[in-house]
Structure 1
Amino acid sequence: MNDDASTDDVQTWDLTPKIIPFLDRHHVLLLLSFLEENRIYDEGDIKLAKYNLLKSSNMIDLLIEIHASIYGDDNIPQEMKEKREKVLQQNEVLQNAAIPLLKLIQDINMVKSLHENKQYTMSYLEEYYSITSAHLSALYDLAKFKYECGDYATAADYLMHFRELSSDPELHLHALWGRLAVYILLQYWDDALVTVNLIRDTIDHTTNTSPLVQLQQRTWLIHWSLFVYFSNLSVCSQCIELFSNDRYYGTIQTTCPYIRRYLAVALIITKKRKTIKDIQKIVEHGWNTYSDPITQFTEALFVQFDFELADQILVQCEKVFEQDYFLYPFKEEFMQSARLSALEIYFKVHNCFVTKKLGMDFETSEEWIASLIRNFKLNAKIDSQAGQVFIGPRPSVYQQLIDRTREWAMRFLMFSGSFDRGKNLKNRERGRETSAKDPVIT
């Protein structure tokens, strides 16, 4: 960012400070690295934030690396070197506590055989392999430790086995959260999406949890799910189903109204977008508790039908995308879908459109509109010289029904006529054959 004005605007729209409290520290590192790469904040401030974030973690090597980048290679504190040794010792202690179970799960063929025979249970393992609940607890602790050290793949594997063997519902949920955390960091998006749905079902169907705890859990799930839903365009539509659900939309209104930015983007870019009336219903309900260019554009277009205002705001939306970790890969998709949405609505209420409103060069906008006219079968023509599109009146639904009925009636008459002509021809041919066989008696 070169000029101070644009930097101030971007920092005003940056949601990182709001989102961070609801993320795991390892996820926060992803956001901080993004801010550092895009120079949205001072590079030194970002490095210091990373350093403070990692001070209480077990990622000692990364902590030392960041410390060296700030203070130099010759100023590594002795306490960091000592902590590194303690982490290695703790790893050995935890592994020793879980050795019987670790040996078993490292034997892939044995685990497969136990699964096939439905013997992979704690009662069976305790009886035949002397594996106790203490070993299972040690495995859980080791998985958490591996995660804190940044060994995400190993942590995911241990948590999978823990969930299969544990019968504690509370620890089951904790293990699910742990697996979601590592799937996000490993970018295993299919597994992450499945885990998001499992956590949602667990939260929604647990009856012995207080409403406050459920509210907190839903808030965390909403934030963590951003990584998953905005990992690629194909799953983005599922964000709409979750965020517009009554329970979760109520959570957004109560604890994190800024999440409406992501709901607005999903409503516009997804190929399975809801109808205009559905979007209006979502946008009108409590939308004024948070505002940024993206939500303002959505409201101006779908609620106010203010095309001039929507056109002005759309320019600002690009800046928001450039500084948002979750949205920046979808900037072009959003801009195209936003223009398409604007044209869809505009075509319904106007009979002339000036192509320069699209913010594209003339050749590109003309080709794009021509494609739109074909796809939507619009009664329209493009005046290339004037740079305008003229849209003729669409026939009413009643008129379309009459025209379609008349068309089918004509087809039926044509078919009937062809059938009758064919039948008469066959009768005449039969008459000739009878005349040839039977001589006329005079």
Structure 2
Amino acid sequence: MSENTESQLTAKELEIARKYDLTGKISQFLDRHLIYPLLESLDLLYNDQIVTRLVYDLLKDTNMTTFVKQQFEILNPGKPFPEELLAKETFVESELEKLDKETKETLNILSDKSVQDHLKQDKEYNTQYLEKEHGITQAKIKALYDFAQFQYNRGDYVMASDLLNNFRVLSTNVDAIVSATWGRLASEIISLQWDTALQELSKLREVVDSRSFNDPLMQLHNRTWIIHWSLFPFFNTENGLDQLCDLFFSSSYLSTIQASCPWISRYLVAAVVCLYSSSRKSQSSSPAFQKRLKDLIRVVGQEQYEYNDPLTEFIKALYIEYDFELARDKLSEATAVIKTDFFLASGATNFAENARYLISEVYCRVHQRIELSQLSNYLDLSTEDGEKWIAKLIRDSKMNAKIDESEGTIIMNHPITSVYQEVIEKTKGLSFRSSQVLASVVQKQENTVQ
């Protein structure tokens, strides 16, 4: 075990984190270059030798020969490089020179301002103009795509993105344009260019969600890939969590999650819980949050037999079973999972804080008289810290409540309809409607007999 792991995870946290690690499931729907950062983050779960071996096996067939040689040296100190790796290095160098020569003239022409001024929105016009005036044929345009693919495979993502953009401007091949958009999205993700990545993601969604997409299974497959790739920009941009909720809660993408990747419900839970802080600060955003929370509870309830982890079980315990002790335990487990989840690690503190607010909110809604020590226990805090937390909660949420320090209780002064009362009222309403239906049926039967 690495020192980094030992300093951040207890033995119990490590066991939980390994049990619920999603790297294997998520990797099925990522390009190998996008998998690499996920493997690098596994140093919290496994020792350096295991992670290095995973990285080496992942990238050994790419054109990143210099990097692959470094990984081989770490794994096999003092041993000579494999012949196939040296041969690959020679091939990459010669192929790079060849493709550079094949595309250099085309790129120079396209960068000329006078040529750019002649180009229009009409691709047919552009290709005819470029071929007639500058000798840029379809084969030369295709060479831009081939060079981009090669550069991407050798880890030059900036160059790959530029080449793919040039190719996409000129090409009329629909399938190749879509492929280039996937490539550009991957390049922008790896280069951490999140705004551009979101633009490319939007273009892909437009294609995949269009009615002209004839094969439903292929559409489902593409949506599954979009869901997984979108995690990168959504968890790294200012309004990304809102965008994640808008996309993942939409009917077509929610159906995709339920059909092919139920583990994505983890990220829906994380997004909704983390957005609770903005809901507390802005009353205008509260209805939107409540709708998302309601949708989330429904999804977790529906998917509990297909997928569970501490995050989904926290929601289930708190909002479906109203088991506050279980909610506390699941929050503790969820914190360990979040610490080691590539996409969630940076928001671990925010998730835990908001989750405690949610526990407090539900508990206060259910009970009129609250024992501070018991609520502190459910929040996994000492009584002293719990009192400070609850005082802050009452102040921030402007609850009409009073803390009685001598009795160690909180008295909720505003009228509260408990969850149990709500169930009773709904049952009464259902009983009344049933009686009406029954009376109507009896009346019809009597009329028929007469």
Assess if the C-alpha contact under 8 Å between 1:143 and 1:158 holds in 2: yes
Q: Work out the CA distance in 2 between the residues paired with 1:233 and 1:264.
A: 18
Q: Work out the CA distance in 2 between the residues paired with 1:8 and 1:117.
A: 56
Superposed displacement of residue 278, structure 1: 3.3
Q: Which one of the candidate residues 9, 14, 33 is aligned to 1:7?
A: 14
Assess if the C-alpha contact under 8 Å between 1:100 and 1:131 holds in 2: no
Assess if the C-alpha contact under 8 Å between 1:143 and 1:154 holds in 2: yes
Report the TM-score, using the length of structure 1 for normalisation. 0.82
Identify the residue that residue 108 of structure 2 maps to in structure 1. Answer: 103
Deviations 1:32-59 (Å, cap 9, x if unpaired)?
A: 11102x2x12322221111111121000
Q: Give the gaps of 5 or more residues in structure 1.
A: 397-442
Q: Work out the CA distance in 1 between the residues paired with 2:228 and 2:274.
A: 20
Q: Which one of the candidate residues 254, 258, 262 is aligned to 1:257?
A: 262
Deviations 1:362-407 (Å, cap 9, x if unpaired)?
A: 56544443343234331111234555432113389xxxxxxxxxxx
Query: Aligned pair in 2 of structure 1 residues 339, 60: CA closer, same or farther (>3 Å)?
Result: same
Q: Work out the CA distance in 1 between the residues paired with 2:165 and 2:127.
A: 14
Which deviates more from structure 2 when the two are superposed, residues 229-238 or residues 252-261?
229-238
Identify the residue that residue 380 of structure 1 maps to in structure 2. Answer: 401
Question: What is the correspondence of 1:100-249 to structure 2 with a 5 Å cutoff?
Answer: 100-107=105-112, 109-110=113-114, 112-114=116-118, 121-232=126-237, 234-249=239-254
Superposed displacement of residue 135, structure 1: 0.8
Assess if the C-alpha contact under 8 Å between 1:16 and 1:31 holds in 2: yes
1:359 and 2:380 equivalent?
yes
Superposed displacement of residue 99, structure 1: 2.9
Q: Give the gaps of 5 or more residues in structure 2.
A: 279-284, 418-450
Assess if the C-alpha contact under 8 Å between 2:365 and 2:416 holds in 1: no
Assess if the C-alpha contact under 8 Å between 2:245 and 2:272 holds in 1: yes
Assess if the C-alpha contact under 8 Å between 2:368 and 2:416 holds in 1: no
Deviations 1:227-252 (Å, cap 9, x if unpaired)?
A: 11111453112111211222212211
Deviations 1:191-240 (Å, cap 9, x if unpaired)?
A: 11122122111101052431111111111111111111111453112111
Which deviates more from structure 2 when the two are superposed, residues 224-233 or residues 10-19?
224-233
Superposed displacement of residue 296, structure 1: 0.1
1:90 and 2:95 equivalent?
yes
Superposed displacement of residue 341, structure 1: 1.6
Q: Work out the CA distance in 2 between the residues paired with 1:110 and 1:326.
A: 45
AA partner of residue 28 (structure 2) = P
Secondary structure at the counterpart of residue 343 of structure 2:
coil
Superposed displacement of residue 306, structure 1: 2.1
Q: Work out the CA distance in 1 between the residues paired with 2:182 and 2:336.
A: 33
Query: Aligned pair in 2 of structure 1 residues 103, 234: CA closer, same or farther (>3 Å)?
Result: same
Query: RMSD of the TM alignment (CA)?
Result: 2.4
Superposed displacement of residue 22, structure 1: 1.1
Identify the residue that residue 282 of structure 2 maps to in structure 1. Answer: none
AA partner of residue 225 (structure 2) = W
Question: What is the correspondence of 1:308-347 to structure 2 with a 5 Å cutoff?
Answer: 308-347=325-364
Identify the residue that residue 444 of structure 2 maps to in structure 1. Answer: none
Q: Work out the CA distance in 1 between the residues paired with 2:248 and 2:122.
A: 38
AA partner of residue 346 (structure 2) = P
Q: Work out the CA distance in 1 between the residues paired with 2:104 and 2:314.
A: 58
Structure of higher CA gyration radius: 1
Identify the residue that residue 367 of structure 2 maps to in structure 1. Answer: 350
Moved over 6 A (4+): 116-120
Secondary structure at the counterpart of residue 359 of structure 1:
coil
Secondary structure at the counterpart of residue 344 of structure 1:
helix
Report the TM-score, using the length of structure 2 for normalisation. 0.81
Superposed displacement of residue 312, structure 1: 1.9
Question: What is the correspondence of 1:403-442 to structure 2 with a 5 Å cutoff?
Answer: none
AA partner of residue 140 (structure 1) = Y
